[in-house]
Amino acid sequence: MFTSEVQLRVRYADTDQMGYVYYGKYASFYEIARVEALRSIGVSYKSLEEQGIMMPVWENHSYYLQPAQFDEVLTIKVLVKEIPMAKMIFTYEIYNESFQLIHKGETVLVFMNKETRKIMRAPQMLIEILKPYF
């Protein structure tokens, strides 16, 4: 299983009137975490797109356990539990500064040919990079 962590501070713009992270912001937090997770193993979205591969989100799920609050530093743990085929499933665990699990989520991304817009298999290069984690 591949895992990665990233930290981010909750900005005022991320919160609602109560000072809690607005529910729609979690999708942005997921994106930040998964982009950095891939970058940590030498794969960038930019390089994939230059190779004609896009990764649109196919599904997005969020589970709110406790609210995240303004100015907290959150730790977002990203897990990839299986080697991707035509889709890649990212699981997220978000912890507050007290290391309490406050949020869980999952996104399913598909690999898509940039020109034809058809779903394709994961690039072999990505599979080879991920194999040692499984």
Question: pLDDT by residue for the chain (134 residues), tens digit each?
Answer: 999 999 999 999 999 999 999 999 999 999 999 999 999 999 999 999 999 999 999 999 999 999 999 999 999 999 999 999 999 999 999 999 999 999 999 999 999 999 999 999 999 999 999 999 99
Q: What is the pLDDT of residues 72-84, one digit of tens each?
A: 999 999 999 999 9
Q: Which distant-in-sequence residues (6+ apart) come within 8 Å of 100 by Cβ?
A: 66
Supply the range of the domain harboring residue 90.
2-133
CATH number at residue 114: 3.10.129.10
Q: What confidence score (pLDDT) does residue 134 get?
A: 95
- Kind of pairing, strands 57-64 and 112-113? unpaired
Count of structural domains within the chain: 1
What are the structure tokens assigned to 4, written together? 């990665």
Q: What is the mean pLDDT of the chain?
A: 96
Q: What confidence score (pLDDT) does residue 1 get?
A: 94
| CA 120 from centroid of its chain's CA atoms | 20
pTM (predicted TM-score): 0.94
